[in-house]
Structure 1
Amino acid sequence: MSDGPRLPGVEQEREEERIVLHVDADCFYAACERLREPKLEGEPVVVGMGYEPGETIGAVATASYEAREFGVESAQAISTALERLPRRAGLSPDADDYDPDLIREETGYYRPVDMDYYESIAEAVQSILHDCADVVREVSIDEAYLDVTERTAWEVADGFARHVKDRIRREVGIVVSVGAAPTMSAAKIASDYDKPDGLTVVRPDELRAFLAPLAVDLLHGVGPVTARELREMGLETAGDVAAADPEPLVERFGERGRELYDRARGDDDRRVEPKGDPKSFSRESAFAEPVSDPGPKYEQIETLAAAVADRAQREGALYRTVGIKAVTPPYDVNTRERSLPGPVDDPDLVDRITRELFAEFETEPVRKVGVRVANLEFASADQASLDGWGHAADRPRTDESGSELDEESINRSSGQSSLTDFR
């Protein structure tokens, strides 16, 4: 079919049919800490960057909604946060004689940032997102855009978005807010609209009416300084910006002024595009209750290994690392991985290695298991298997710099295990 001229409005109509989700975890670091310490649920929790237990240094990375009620905010100095919400003194919630009635309500729990742990939780969420959408753009550890145009329809978009939320809550244990809209900028606004635990769907014919009454500082990309300047121009709402002459906006803000005008009108032709090749593929699955019997655990490992290897094949990826995750009560994340002598595409190998790595947890109570392949390579070369690396007598084995490996190095590389967390 030739790329001839289109009838007026046809392209715009096709664009408006796009369905974009923005998924944003609510107080992500605090939510992760509650996974690790379930008794923190409902309590004020402050997670500090550069903070050490018992100290007053550092800055607030995340404050739970309960902590925010006391005036604790992100980027605030820990010393200031402690003035507004003192550290909880007295017994630990894990103590046998813990009595919450003996502790002041106007206190909270402070925890240091644990990025390795948070990244392991984020990867579990990202795995679900990639399973629910054809295109995913991860913009930070706790938020992503999804293009689900081919997965659902506007008539049932509410149900699809609810499915994404419920699956993350059920399989990972954290709460996310989801916004659905025909553009990326509107989807972002929609996910923020009803936090926490929000779900807001803005259909194409509702977009302008949804945006119009919003304060200008709620427009995507508008910070405090820009919001103040817009108000100085007499523009209080997105509807005001949409109805304004765009030329003064361009004079004041440059090309960004045109962008503000377009976004306020719901015009945003950006596509949801991945930020680059993924660094790993993983799948995880949780049990309703901790499981000690080896049978169900190995069955789940086998299923996850097959799913991960299949995705690598579909994406045209080779991998140098195979790993497993075992989460034991209360929420201790244990990972093991093995490096291979070269990039491979070998589902049988993934199955065998994951079983060998999981043997350590065969009789341990486990509440969640996961499988991961990492150190990916995306190339047009023929896919490889371990046989191709292990039995090609005329092909010397080399490291990443091209230097030939001796047999001791090969054995050490192929058998290496570590405690590296899923990233």
Structure 2
Amino acid sequence: MSGSTLPGTGDDDAPDRVVLHVDMDCFYASCERLKEPELRGQPVVVGMGYEEGETIGAVATASYEARAYGVDSAQPISQAVERLPPVERPDLGSADDDRGHYRPVDMEFYQSVASEVKAILHDCADTVREVSIDEAYLDVTARTSWERVDDPPRASGAAEKRTLAEGLGRHVRERIAREVGVPASVGVAPNMATAKIASDHDKPEGLTVVPPGSVAEFLAPLPVEEIHGVGPVRAGQLREMGIETADDLADADPGVLQDRFGDRGVELHDRAGGVDNREVTPTGLPKSLSRESSFSEATTDAGAMREKVRALAAAVAERARSKDALYRTIGIKAVTTPYDVNTRAESLSGPVDDPELVEETALSLLSEFEDEPVRKLGVRVSKLSFAAGEQASLDGFASATVADGGSEGETESETESESAGEDAAAESTPAESRSGQFSLGEFE
């Protein structure tokens, strides 16, 4: 999709950067609700150790409904089940207790859903930095601007009037909800640190916009621990110095902060004042490109399925060509009822750029599912190559079907880009991000 077709598109030469931080809300719990829609509105806890005979484990994430009972991410599972006994464990608690629905971590499924979200993000921005499975930064400066809209409804966040940038942020959030079915919160700001804070400002499903000129005012009253990079320990140290709010931190002597915390102290001082000159840089070249689309309801209409796959194949092939990418594998995803994710792929003898082959292969792989009720379809090209070189001859085409992720070792987490990379840890609070999603690196 070109920038000119997106809501919120403005002049490409806007003087101030426009950065979006997209943060999925209780992502694992939201994914479980995709599999089991009856869990919507119910307290959901994802973790390990709650099963009978097990006592050691932790909460990976808890829905907002579960948090109302004192259950939260990174909490020992023993404490969680005391506060909110599992429906699955009638032997725990009393008959009168409110109960929650506990589910084990299904990382393969979560990665599959995340790949759909990432496909949207890469479609809506020229530069995407994927920080983790459930959050990313987008630089959309070339696609929108801070230009005000003359006759808007009430603006979001710190903005006095709506801007084109807000329109694009709203479009991204609503497209994720509509096409993937999981909620996200979006922060829009002229720099990364402020955008991250903004995405947490009005959860869940929030949209907070902080235009240039409003950043310092927006940040000033916030507790110091809300500044990106200030964890609980650092917040305690700052409070010992009489620094309680972002405004206090911005007004503090940067020399004193450097003496106490080194260069990190100066960095936090700048962020508290709304200064963050980091550029949104991608974590690596994408390993695969995909497009997916849902039906309004599950269908067995083979003609409708084929029509959708043709459109998806054309979109994926065009996207690969726009990135000067060749591909060695062509695949599809078919989500069948109740919510079974099936992937099939064919590998080529060498890298190609061939839209007709993408369509032909995708339709061939689809034939396996044309008699089943299908909720969603996707087309993917992978094993990408961006180096200049000749394509493999199609005379030497050799295919091998890869079923359900198969022998090539591809996983849905690879669908859009590499994992967060070398400084991902610096982008989120240890153990628990502000989205309430417990890091599986800590969890495991």
Matches within 5 A, 1:13-52: 17-49=16-48
Per-residue deviation at 1:388? 6.2
Question: Judging changes above 3 Å, is the alpha-carbon distance between structure 1 residues 184 and 60 closer, same or farther for their aligned structure 2 residues?
Answer: same
Q: Distance in 1 between matches of 2:95 and 2:212?
A: 51
Q: Distance in 2 between matches of 1:283 and 1:31?
A: 21
Counterpart in 2 of 1:284? 292
Equivalent of 1:335 in 343, 358, 363: 343
Q: Is the 8 A contact 1:336 1:418 kept in 2?
A: yes
More helix by share: 1
| SS of match in other structure, 1:58 | coil
Question: Judging changes above 3 Å, is the alpha-carbon distance between structure 1 residues 326 and 105 closer, same or farther for their aligned structure 2 residues?
Answer: farther
Pair 1:369-2:377 in alignment: yes
Per-residue deviation at 1:16? 6.1
Pair 1:352-2:360 in alignment: yes
Matches within 5 A, 1:115-264: 115-154=107-146, 155-264=163-272
| SS of match in other structure, 2:283 | coil
| SS of match in other structure, 2:120 | helix
For 1:138, give the aligned amino acid: E
Stretch of structure 1 that moved more, 33-42 or 308-317: 308-317
Question: Judging changes above 3 Å, is the alpha-carbon distance between structure 1 residues 16 and 364 closer, same or farther for their aligned structure 2 residues?
Answer: same
Contiguous gaps of at least 5 residues in structure 2: 1-12, 147-162, 406-410, 414-444
Counterpart in 1 of 2:332? 324
| SS of match in other structure, 2:118 | helix
Q: Per-residue CA shift, 1:342-368, capped at 9, x if unaligned?
A: 222222211111111110111221111
| SS of match in other structure, 2:331 | strand
Equivalent of 1:114 in 84, 89, 106: 106
Q: Distance in 2 between matches of 1:116 and 1:415?
A: 22
For 1:422, give the aligned amino acid: E
Q: Is the 8 A contact 1:90 1:103 kept in 2?
A: no
Q: Distance in 1 between matches of 2:218 and 2:277?
A: 18
Per-residue deviation at 1:195? 0.8
Counterpart in 1 of 2:9? none
Q: Is the 8 A contact 1:50 1:113 kept in 2?
A: no
Per-residue deviation at 1:17? 0.9
| SS of match in other structure, 2:310 | helix
Counterpart in 1 of 2:412? 422
Looking at CA atoms only, which structure, 1 or 2, has the larger radius of gyration? 1
Equivalent of 2:316 in 293, 308, 312: 308
Q: Distance in 1 between matches of 2:55 and 2:87?
A: 14
Q: Distance in 2 between matches of 1:304 and 1:87?
A: 41
TM-score by length of 2: 0.81
Q: Distance in 2 between matches of 1:366 and 1:266?
A: 48
Question: Judging changes above 3 Å, is the alpha-carbon distance between structure 1 residues 191 and 310 closer, same or farther for their aligned structure 2 residues?
Answer: same
Stretch of structure 1 that moved more, 144-153 or 174-183: 144-153
| SS of match in other structure, 1:357 | helix
Per-residue deviation at 1:124? 0.5
For 1:72, give the aligned amino acid: V
Q: Is the 8 A contact 1:349 1:386 kept in 2?
A: no
| SS of match in other structure, 2:20 | strand
| SS of match in other structure, 1:317 | coil
| SS of match in other structure, 2:384 | strand
Q: Work out the number of aligned pairs and report it.
A: 377
Q: Distance in 2 between matches of 1:83 and 1:43?
A: 18
Counterpart in 2 of 1:293? 301
Per-residue deviation at 1:315? 1.4
Contiguous gaps of at least 5 residues in structure 1: 1-13, 92-101, 391-410
Counterpart in 2 of 1:98? none
Per-residue deviation at 1:416? 2.5
For 1:347, give the aligned amino acid: P
Q: Per-residue CA shift, 1:124-179, capped at 9, x if unaligned?
A: 01111111111111111011101111111222222221111111101000000000
Per-residue deviation at 1:378? 1.9
Counterpart in 1 of 2:149? none
Per-residue deviation at 1:212? 0.5
Per-residue deviation at 1:422? 2.6
Q: Is the 8 A contact 2:45 2:59 kept in 1?
A: yes
Per-residue deviation at 1:330? 2.2
| SS of match in other structure, 2:87 | coil
Q: Is the 8 A contact 1:345 1:385 kept in 2?
A: no
Q: Is the 8 A contact 1:326 1:370 kept in 2?
A: yes
Q: Is the 8 A contact 2:189 2:209 kept in 1?
A: yes
Q: Is the 8 A contact 1:88 1:103 kept in 2?
A: no
Q: Distance in 2 between matches of 1:108 and 1:126?
A: 30
Per-residue deviation at 1:415? 2.4
Q: Distance in 1 between matches of 2:96 and 2:341?
A: 32
Matches within 5 A, 1:395-406: none
For 2:114, give the aligned amino acid: A
Per-residue deviation at 1:180? 0.1
For 2:126, give the aligned amino acid: D
Question: Judging changes above 3 Å, is the alpha-carbon distance between structure 1 residues 388 and 228 closer, same or farther for their aligned structure 2 residues?
Answer: farther
Q: Distance in 2 between matches of 1:417 and 1:243?
A: 59
Pair 1:265-2:273 in alignment: yes
For 1:174, give the aligned amino acid: V
Q: Distance in 2 between matches of 1:274 and 1:318?
A: 19
| SS of match in other structure, 1:378 | coil
Q: Is the 8 A contact 1:48 1:62 kept in 2?
A: yes
Question: Judging changes above 3 Å, is the alpha-carbon distance between structure 1 residues 50 and 370 closer, same or farther for their aligned structure 2 residues?
Answer: farther
Q: Is the 8 A contact 1:53 1:111 kept in 2?
A: no
Question: Judging changes above 3 Å, is the alpha-carbon distance between structure 1 residues 65 and 156 closer, same or farther for their aligned structure 2 residues?
Answer: same
